[in-house]
Structure 1
């Protein structure tokens, strides 16, 4: 199974029981190593202002992505995907809010912390998918992916191994 990058952590967490039920019906064990979870991610070496501007502000590609997505989904009657309280007005669902809630952006240490906090919230999963919609500036996009592979994921996997004594999370772009 794959959980989409545009879902709130609470909805991602709700996928595990459905996966377990499907595995049970199919006569096979549920294995968290087979669960893939996508998140929008932007990593900088040490520039928190750049991370906020590119990852969360209206100047960055993530804002554009979530602007398109919220327009289509909210306009198509699927605003429930972006709400914990279904009585919340649709007008509250904005690209600004979605990028702040759904994009992991920051320095290497910031993104490590964000991934681990997300994992604590949703549970163990096997692969973190990195959807590439960050190529407004190709050099920044490449650097983000490089930092993700060379610094973020080794730290995430070390923390998981230390705390949980489980297999490390794979990353796929």
Structure 2
């Protein structure tokens, strides 16, 4: 698959906030970021679910996305992601449809097994069961969203002739995507169910994974299950920070990036390697630089992966708030149009006029000379004919 005619873009709000930052204000900032993305023309916003660490602070993405639905107009709103082993499948399906109606058909369902072992531990869930439980839940949720009646019994939930009281607004249903990080479980599940992939491993802290290989796993799982998957529903998730000056962009983020690594990723999440910001920039697992740098990095990613449908910015507090908002605007102004075909008509028009300019001058000369003649006046000596204005 070559680069799509129109690549979609969005933001992915885990979120990551410092533990010394006001939680009420950071939640407000997350909502404001979705509102800004909507105004700037981004296509999607995804919001995560976490219950521990105090850094990834949103416990219920459905609540946050419902609030965002009120203050936005067109951006699609996705759970990024609901940790399925934490919830009864009927409740997930019901809340998804409710969000879809509240947002007038803009809901997306992103799912995963649960990223933080500390979350599962508090609920008495054994981590080794989480991936299988995610699959069992999805086996029920997908047919429920299609309007089917589902009966199922597992060692952790039961459905007795369950059905939804109302269905998604769009006849094609709600888009579904599975998160993929370290293991092949996510892409395997996506392939088995014929749904999309949220590749957080594209910009995984500590070095990105082989994305082409991950997609091959998804394709094999789909073939084995008799389903179909599409690269159009493949989403890459990376951290991005842009400035008009590359060195300035790096200065904007380097201190907070290192602090996040030393305070959160290493002691709390157990990251063991010493991957540096320079390493991340070199292998495109973080894109820090100018809009031109970002365009080149995304082009490389398209080439390396074989193509995907959506690029998502993993939001973070590496830069100060004004710098973060400015980065998002630079991305919308200069990066998105490059991949969406919106610049081509204007550039083509300018090139056409430039090529024809030598032939326009005598036509303009004749028209202006006639205008002076019709007015009974002589054309002043040395008049520079630029146009008919």
Query: Which category describes the TM-score, using the shorter chain as reference length?
Result: 0.5 to 0.7
Structure 2 segments unaligned to the other structure (5+ residues): 1-196, 345-389
**For 2:260 and 2:310, how far apart are their aligned partners in 1?**
22
Contact 2:232 2:310 in 1 (8 A): yes
Which residue does the alignment assign to 1:126? 309
Gap change, CA 1:36 and 1:141, over 3 Å in 2 = same
SS in 1 for 2:242: strand
CA RMSD of aligned residues (A): 2.6
CA deviations on 1:113-167 (whole Å, 9 max, x unpaired) are: 1111122112211111111104641111111111112211111344xx9xxxxxx
Larger helix fraction of residues: 1
Matched, 1:50 2:245: no
Gap change, CA 1:137 and 1:14, over 3 Å in 2 = same
TM-score, structure 1 as length reference? 0.68
**For 1:52 and 1:148, how far apart are their aligned partners in 2?**
16
Aligned residues: 140
**For 1:47 and 1:103, how far apart are their aligned partners in 2?**
16
**1:137-148 alignment, distance < 5 Å:** 137-148=320-331
**For 1:9 and 1:136, how far apart are their aligned partners in 2?**
22
Gap change, CA 1:63 and 1:153, over 3 Å in 2 = farther
Shift of 1:97: 4.8
**For 1:105 and 1:28, how far apart are their aligned partners in 2?**
38
**For 2:289 and 2:277, how far apart are their aligned partners in 1?**
16
For the pair shown, the structure with the greater C-alpha radius of gyration is 2
**Comparing 138-147 with 15-24, which one deviates more in the overlay?**
15-24
Matched, 1:24 2:219: no
Gap change, CA 1:6 and 1:25, over 3 Å in 2 = same
Contact 1:108 1:152 in 2 (8 A): yes
Which residue does the alignment assign to 1:109? 292
Contact 1:35 1:126 in 2 (8 A): yes
**For 1:141 and 1:121, how far apart are their aligned partners in 2?**
28
Structure 1 segments unaligned to the other structure (5+ residues): 76-89, 162-173
Gap change, CA 1:47 and 1:97, over 3 Å in 2 = closer
Gap change, CA 1:155 and 1:62, over 3 Å in 2 = farther
Shift of 1:9: 4.6
TM-score, structure 2 as length reference? 0.33
Contact 1:48 1:106 in 2 (8 A): yes
Gap change, CA 1:135 and 1:96, over 3 Å in 2 = closer
Matched, 1:37 2:232: no
